[in-house]
Amino acid sequence: MLATLATTSVVVAGCLGDGNNTAEPDDENTPSDNDSDDNSSHDNASNDDTETGETPESVTGYFDGESARPECEKDAETVEVEHGDDTQEYQTAETVPYPEREEFDDNIVEFVERFEHAYVTHSALCNGSGSEDILSVDYDVDRAETFDWYDDITVVFLLRAGGPTWGIEDDGSEWMAGLAYDGVVYAVDETGAARVDFDDAHELDDEELESHAPDPLDDGGLVDEFE
């Protein structure tokens, strides 16, 4: 199924981003404005808190409020679909649990890759309309790297594809979809993780990624708090 990821882009109801209940950025600094001057300020120097002029002490300390993310638990179920005189059984997709930070020691990039996989499946399955059964949610990471923006906060960029790729409507008709690669940026430290979409990442050259990437602290939302 993943063989189609890099070549096909299809908009699918319930795909990644639907039901994203993370904190929404201000209109002036939306992550979609990745080619604006506001999002070209990263120069490998220390990123200061734009409100206080000071480097943020921690990820959770930067946000006012609890973390928010797509959240539910969906197990695989067997569904029967009639095709003429025949009845065929299918297995629905299930959510991937969010990982625990302590499972990954100092490997923050691996933690982010696993966390985004869970985020993708929860986003696809937790807020469905009820008019379809999703049979497959695919996820693949094409590229991962870190940006040296803060001293004690690790910023991780992923170029990944994720979302529903196969499902059945109420009338029994099946649909299939390919997925395009897009970006996401995380900020992670010992206190928590913040996330922001980087939708235009696939359109940029490698040397442009860091300077155009949105900052999860300024433009994203808190998605996990570590005890």
Distance of CA 205 to the CA centre of its chain: 21
The pLDDT of residue 47 is 54
The arithmetic mean of pLDDT across residues 197-203, rounded, is 93
Report how far residue 58's alpha carbon sits from residue 192's, in angstroms, rounded to the nearest whole number.
Answer: 8
Write the pLDDT tens digit of every residue in 77-134: 999 988 778 889 999 999 999 999 999 988 999 999 999 999 999 999 997 655 689 9
- What is the model's pLDDT at position 171? 84
Question: Does position 7 have pLDDT exceeding 80, yes or no?
Answer: no
Do residues 136 and 161 make contact, with C-beta atoms less than 8 angstroms apart? no
pLDDT confidence of residue 54: 65
pLDDT of amino acid 32: 42
Q: Determine the Cα–Cα distance for residues 6 and 160; give it in Å rounded to an integer.
A: 10
pLDDT of residue 139 exceeding 50, the answer is yes
pLDDT value at 158 more than 90? yes
Three-class SS state of 101: helix
Q: What is the pLDDT of residue 127?
A: 79
Residue with tokens 């991962």: 144
In this structure, of 3-12, 54-63, 115-124, the range with the lowest mean pLDDT score is 3-12
Q: Residue 2 is encoded by which pair of tokens?
A: 């993943």
Rounded percentage of the chain residues whose pLDDT exceeds 90: 63
- pLDDT at residue 81, as a whole number: 87
Which carries the bigger pLDDT value, residue 54 or residue 64? 64
pLDDT of 14: 37
CA distance 136 to 216: 29
